[in-house]
């Protein structure tokens, strides 16, 4: 018997999990992406792109496709998608597990200022003009127009269009992972004084955090949102172990 698995993805872990399941004859695996990135990385399983129409739409999709297991492996800051997944799982009667990577722990020499949202991050950067490295999603940059005194280095996967209404900004488009040595070089070349980032966890974007620690640079770090309680694991291998117990794999 083949089991239908839907992965709500958008993370490196979701892709690694899809790779593990792609050639397993016991599963029909589909990966769903929100569609925020214009040119998503190639994936090893069939992909659908776009929203479902909230929790009700996702529940309908689970029933129509006969999904056996829902795996929520979205970004740690995708709180609404997480809530929709939990509600849809309950309404459709489809078992669910969440793959949630751990946040980065604070190290002794980290110069972190932790805030709850981007608006607070703007305030935390301060009134004095500084060179600020923004590593947030494109949709979350607009609040920094309220602080035009700073010079900004802005990195995103896709171009920021239209650019922010600020006088001093340099835009970079790049897709991680980013090595610590490369991040340290970037910070020195642009004379960065403060980084604004999310505590995404995982190795792909940790280079800037480690580099900031070594260089004594401040990091304004947006805390993770509260996520709904659900069965969750921290690694791809733990998902595979969970599947082995959740489904009769014979």
pLDDT digits 0-9 by tens, 90-125: 999 999 999 999 999 999 999 999 999 999 999 999
Beta-bridged to residue 152, according to DSSP, are 132, 169
What was the pLDDT predicted at 24? 84
What was the pLDDT predicted at 248? 61
CATH 3.40.50.2000 correct for 112-222: yes
Alpha-carbon distance of 30 to 67, in angstroms, equals: 10
| Torsion angle, alpha carbons of 215, 156, 182, 190, to 10 | -50
Alpha-carbon distance of 69 to 28, in angstroms, equals: 11
Residue-range domain boundaries for the chain: 3-101+226-246, 112-222
What was the pLDDT predicted at 214? 97
Confidence of residue 158 (pLDDT cuts 50, 70, 90): confident
What was the pLDDT predicted at 239? 94
- Quick one: average pLDDT of 58-65? 96
- Quick one: average pLDDT of 155-183? 93
What was the pLDDT predicted at 126? 96
What was the pLDDT predicted at 229? 86
pLDDT digits 0-9 by tens, 6-59: 999 988 899 999 999 998 888 899 999 986 665 566 777 888 988 899 999 999
- Quick one: average pLDDT of 62-71? 95
Edge-to-edge, what's the strand order for the sheet holding 232-233?
47-49, 27-33, 3-8, 69-72, 96-99, 232-233
- Quick one: average pLDDT of 71-80? 92
Q: Do 3-101+226-246 and 112-222 agree at the fold level?
A: yes
pLDDT digits 0-9 by tens, 190-249: 999 999 999 999 898 999 999 999 999 999 999 999 888 899 999 999 999 999 887 765
pLDDT digits 0-9 by tens, 128-154: 999 999 999 888 999 999 999 999 999
Alpha-carbon distance of 130 to 132, in angstroms, equals: 6
pLDDT digits 0-9 by tens, 231-242: 999 999 999 999
Beta-bridged to residue 6, according to DSSP, are 30, 70
- CATH of region 3-101+226-246: 3.40.50.720
């Amino acid at each position: 018997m083949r089991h239908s698995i839907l992965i709500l993805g958008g993370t490196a872990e979701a892709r690694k999990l899809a790779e593990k399941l792609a050639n397993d004859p016991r599963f029909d695996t589909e990966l769903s992406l929100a569609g925020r990135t214009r040119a998503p990385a190639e994936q090893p399983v069939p992909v659908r792109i776009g929203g479902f129409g909230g929790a009700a739409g996702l529940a309908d999709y689970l029933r129509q496709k006969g999904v056996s297991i829902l795996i929520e492996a979205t970004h740690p800051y995708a709180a609404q998608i997480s809530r929709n997944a939990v509600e849809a799982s309950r309404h459709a009667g489809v078992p669910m597990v969440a793959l949630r990577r751990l946040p980065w722990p604070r190290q002794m020499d980290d110069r972190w200022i932790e805030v709850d949202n981007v608006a607070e991050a703007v305030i935390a950067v301060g009134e004095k003009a500084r060179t600020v490295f923004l590593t947030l999603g494109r949709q979350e940059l607009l609040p920094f127009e309220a602080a035009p005194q700073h010079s900004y280095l802005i990195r995103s996967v896709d171009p920021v269009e239209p650019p922010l209404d600020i006088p001093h900004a340099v835009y970079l488009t790049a897709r991680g992972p980013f090595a610590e040595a490369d991040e340290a070089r970037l910070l020195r070349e642009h004379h960065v004084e403060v980084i604004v980032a999310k505590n995404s966890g995982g190795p792909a974007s940790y280079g800037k955090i480690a580099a900031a620690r070594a260089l004594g640079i401040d990091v304004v770090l947006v805390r993770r949102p509260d996520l709904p309680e659900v069965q969750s694991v921290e690694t791809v291998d733990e998902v595979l172990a969970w599947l082995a117990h959740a489904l009769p794999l014979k």
